[in-house]
Every structure is written in C-alpha cells, then in structure tokens.
C-alpha cells in the first residue's frame, strides 16, 4: 500500500483528497463468543469514497454499525476529527455529522417522502420545544428555511414527482433513493451507505452510482460504502478495505486490492494441495 501524505493529495483523475477525518484503531467487536470484528484498523480521509468489501458475513455491516454508534466495540478506539470519540448512543453520533442508510431500508413507512426527508434535518433545527409547539414566528420561518434545503435535495436526487407519496407505496429502488435523500438532508460530513445498490437493476445501479459521485463531488461529502457489485466498487471508490471472517485482509486503491493475493483467495477460494 502506498503511503499518502498526511495533509492530503490529489488523485490521478484530479480528485482532491483531504487529511484523515476518522480513524479506527484496533477495533474488536464480539457478540457473546463470536468475534465479528477482529482487531481492525483503518482510516477514512476527507472527501474520499472509501469502500468496504468482503464476502457475506465478513463483518462489513458490523463495521458500519460501529462507525455509526449502533454497536459499541469491546476494544479499540475511534478518532473523529483528531479526537477520541467517547462512548455515545447512535443518535448522538448522528448529531456529530455522521449520517447513514441501512442495508434493509429503514424509512418511516407511514410518512410522506417529504416528511421523511425533513426528519433528516431534525438536528439542524434550533427552535426550542415551546416555540415549536406554539408555532412562534421564528420557528415557522425556520421551518421554511429547512423546507428549502430539503427541496434542493429532492431536486438533486430527482424525486420531485413522489414528494407527497407515502413511502410505503414506493418501489424498492425509489425507497433506497429516499433513504439517501434523508441522509443527505442532514448535511453530513461522513455519509455511510450500507449496500446502496443491493437488489437494483442495472439502470437503477447506474443512477445510484451517479448520485453517489455527484454527492461526493458537489458537497465534498466523505462517503463510506459497502457494496457487493465489484464493478461498481472499483469504479467509484478511491480506496478499498477488504474484510474476511472479521479480519482485514487488504487495504488500498482498487488496483492494489485487485492484485492482492489474500483478496483473490478470499473471493475465489484457496487451492488446497
């Protein structure tokens, strides 16, 4: 693996990658006797698209849950923006600017698309409880401002036509897109996408890939991505972490990872003589 300068670098195709924003150090996560993640360390740089790949059950989603605070690792530490992150519940992690989507879509099914995306801005709303309840002037003005931002996200992801539709009625592909919209509405520094293209057809995958690149490009959002489609991963990402049986077996640019013998073994199986 090449050593990259601490303050950041520019990739071959001219993308600006910044310094390390989140660093995972010696993370170990156990469920009872099972070690889902075994002593893994890697870092995430500002503005990059970082993929986590690996066979089923490798611990990728667990890793995602550790970063977003849904799981608390037994060992290891997480450095975020240079500071050690204390143990905190997932809703507080969300408030530090880390938004996420889920492998099995977690949307508010009973609410409209618009309302779903509005919940993404929950943390950015400042008006206090009472003012909101009484619908005071400033609170109402604030609501309007948030609506404007949400409309921008809606335009960006091209879902204007379903704004008022209850989420439960949408097809799978659009649900995935609404979930991304809700995460984006929070204006996150880091966006965690857990299999954003699972179960999609080719056309939907292309759309989603384009959105991911656009988000990264236009808002400079750092993106961490779990994906099974190798073509997509190699195309999109700047650096890739490869996991297998809870261990890290590879880390580097797509090209480096592609030529890594351990990675090839994990994916194609090892010949036993």
Partner 1 sequence: MSDNLLFAMEAALNGVTVGIMYSLVALGFVLIFKASGIFNFAQGVMALFAALTLVGLQNGQIPFAPIINAAFGTSIHNFGWNLPSLVAIPLTVLVMIGMAWAIERVVLKHLVNQEPIILFMATIGLAFFLEGLGDIMWGAEVKRLDVGIPQGMSSWVDETTYNLFGYGFFIDTLSLYALGIAAVLVTGLVLFSQYTKQGRALRAVADDHQAALSVGISLRFIWVLTWSIAGIVALVAGIMWGSKSGVQFSLSLIALKALPVLILGGFTSIPGAIVGGLLIGVGEKLFDFFMQPVIGGATENWFAYMLALVFLLFRPQGLFGERIIERV
Q: In the complex, which residues of this chain contact partner 1 (CB under 8 A)?
A: 68, 70, 89-92, 94-95, 99-100, 102, 106-111, 115, 118-120, 122-123, 125, 127, 129, 132-133, 135, 139, 143, 182-183, 186
Q: Closest approach of Cβ 263 to partner 1, in Å? A: 30
Tokens of 106: 């977690």
Of the pair 83, 129, the CB lying nearest partner 1 is at 129
Residue 38 CA to residue 48 CA, distance in Å, equals 25
Contact predicate 217/17, CB 8 Å: no
> What are the φ and ψ backbone dihedral angles of 212, each rounded to 5 degrees?
-65, -45
Q: Closest approach of Cβ 99 to partner 1, in Å? A: 7
Of the pair 74, 92, the CB lying nearest partner 1 is at 92
Q: Closest approach of Cβ 125 to partner 1, in Å? A: 5
Chain centre distance of CA 69: 13
Residue 183 CA to residue 180 CA, distance in Å, equals 5
Q: What sign does the dihedral 19-25-30-35 (CA atoms) show? A: positive
In sequence order, the 6+-apart residues with CB closer than 8 A to the CB of 172 are: 105, 199, 200
Of the pair 59, 120, the CB lying nearest partner 1 is at 120
Q: Closest approach of Cβ 48 to partner 1, in Å? A: 22
Contact predicate 156/121, CB 8 Å: no
In sequence order, the 6+-apart residues with CB closer than 8 A to the CB of 250 are: 240, 241, 242, 256, 257, 260, 262, 263
Q: Closest approach of Cβ 47 to partner 1, in Å? A: 22
Q: Closest approach of Cβ 141 to partner 1, in Å? A: 14
Q: Closest approach of Cβ 123 to partner 1, in Å? A: 4
Q: Give the SS3 label for residue 149.
A: helix
Of the pair 65, 260, the CB lying nearest partner 1 is at 65
The position carrying tokens 């404007």 is 148
Of the pair 22, 183, the CB lying nearest partner 1 is at 183
Of the pair 9, 70, the CB lying nearest partner 1 is at 70
Contact predicate 233/141, CB 8 Å: no
Of the pair 86, 272, the CB lying nearest partner 1 is at 86
Residue 155 CA to residue 185 CA, distance in Å, equals 12
Contact predicate 80/95, CB 8 Å: no
């Amino acid at each position: 693996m090449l050593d990259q300068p601490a303050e950041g670098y520019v990739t071959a195709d001219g993308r600006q990658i910044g310094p390390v924003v989140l660093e995972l150090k010696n993370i170990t996560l156990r469920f009872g006797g099972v070690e889902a993640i075994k002593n893994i360390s890697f870092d995430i740089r500002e503005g990059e698209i970082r993929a986590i790949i690996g066979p089923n059950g490798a611990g990728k989603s667990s890793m995602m849950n550790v970063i977003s605070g849904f799981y608390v690792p037994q060992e290891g530490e997480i450095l975020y923006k240079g500071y050690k992150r204390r143990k905190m519940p997932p809703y507080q992690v969300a408030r530090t600017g880390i938004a996420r989507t889920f492998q099995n879509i977690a949307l508010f099914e009973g609410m409209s698309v618009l309302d779903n995306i509005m919940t993404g801005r929950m943390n950015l709303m400042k008006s206090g409880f009472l003012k909101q309840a009484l619908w005071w002037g400033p609170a109402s003005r604030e609501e309007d401002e948030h609506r404007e931002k949400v409309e921008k996200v809606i335009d960006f992801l091209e879902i204007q036509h379903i704004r008022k539709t209850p989420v439960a009625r949408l097809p799978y592909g659009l649900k995935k897109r609404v979930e991304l919209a809700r995460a984006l509405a929070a204006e996150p520094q880091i966006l965690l996408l857990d299999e954003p293209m699972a179960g999609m057809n080719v056309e939907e995958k292309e759309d989603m890939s384009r959105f991911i690149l656009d988000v990264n490009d236009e808002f400079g959002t750092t993106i961490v991505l779990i994906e099974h489609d190798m073509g997509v991963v190699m195309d999109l990402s700047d650096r890739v972490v490869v996991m297998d049986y809870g261990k890290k077996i590879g880390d580097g640019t797509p090209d480096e990872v592609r030529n890594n013998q351990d990675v090839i073994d994990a994916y194609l199986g090892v010949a036993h003589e």
